[in-house]
């Protein structure tokens, strides 16, 4: 049996990134992912289930859905196997989050008009396969609303980041140049490790080792896993 849980199982992924008690792991991962753009100091997990507005419409269950201390909305999805129209699904998920920001508020008995000021919505997708559906064949694909003539950002309100782990080509610990690459190396190979690498370099990886060690799981956790 492997020593560490498989992060691409539904339970394993949420054990690492979807628990309040371990939210420092998600914060660290997102900060390493967005290094040089944003720095998150705290986040709040939101209700992952979004009910449909009409009975004939689809509901949504996000893997992880949270807001940061700066008000950004972040959706994190894990997909272990190929799914047709996955990019369409992520666009739909992000669009629902945009639409849900348009709830009209009230002050006393007076309706308050929405001023259309949207919080940015980031969708981060960790994929354990190569999408091969027209998406560029590379490990990381960043999508934003851009001007097609000069490639400048038109709006920062929608951002999609797709990480295709099979296309991450650094296969040795010493090839990883920063903590983001160390995260990806670990997630890609965790279920094969006898020891968790990089623990001496950063305490977050020591904590990751502790919470993903199968031997340290409770009986109830092992059954769920």
Average pLDDT, the chain: 90
What does R_g of the chain's alpha carbons equal in angstroms?
19
Domain locations in the chain? Answer: 10-100+118-224
CA distance 215 to 118: 45
The reported pTM is: 0.90
pLDDT in tens, 144-196: 999 999 999 999 999 999 999 999 999 999 999 999 999 999 999 998 999 99
pLDDT score of 55 = 56
pLDDT in tens, 105-143: 555 555 666 678 899 999 999 999 988 766 667 999 999
Instruction: List all residues 6 or more positions away from 20 whose beta carbon is below 8 Å from its beta carbon.
Output: 45
pLDDT score of 112 = 65
Residue 167, φ and ψ in degrees, nearest 5:
-95, 0
Residue 184, φ and ψ in degrees, nearest 5:
-65, -40
**In percent, how much of the chain has pLDDT > 90?**
76
The token duo for 191 is 């279920």
Question: 50-74 in b/e burial notation, b at 16+ Cβ within 10 A?
Answer: beeeeeeeeebebbbbbebeeebbb
């Amino acid at each position: 049996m492997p020593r560490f849980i498989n992060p691409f199982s539904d339970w394993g992924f949420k054990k690492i990134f979807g628990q309040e008690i371990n939210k420092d792991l998600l914060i660290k991962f997102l900060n390493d992912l967005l290094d040089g753009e944003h720095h998150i100091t705290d986040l709040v997990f939101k209700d992952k289930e979004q009910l449909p507005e009409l009975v004939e419409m689809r509901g949504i269950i996000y893997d992880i859905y949270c807001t940061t201390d700066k008000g950004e909305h972040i959706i994190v999805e894990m997909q272990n196997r190929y799914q047709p129209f996955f990019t369409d699904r992520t666009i739909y998920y992000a669009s629902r989050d945009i639409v849900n920001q348009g709830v009209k508020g009230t002050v006393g008995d007076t309706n308050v008009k929405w001023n259309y000021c949207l919080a940015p919505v980031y969708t981060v997708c960790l994929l354990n396969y190569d999408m091969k559906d027209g998406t560029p064949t590379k490990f990381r694909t960043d999508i934003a609303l851009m001007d097609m003539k000069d490639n400048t950002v038109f709006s920062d309100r929608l951002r999609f980041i797709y990480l295709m782990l099979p296309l991450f080509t650094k296969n040795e610990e010493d090839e990883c140049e920063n903590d983001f690459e160390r995260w990806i190396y670990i997630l890609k190979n965790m279920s094969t490790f006898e020891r968790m690498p990089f623990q001496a370099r950063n305490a977050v990886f020591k904590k990751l080792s502790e919470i993903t060690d199968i031997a340290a799981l409770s009986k109830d956790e092992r059954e769920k896993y």
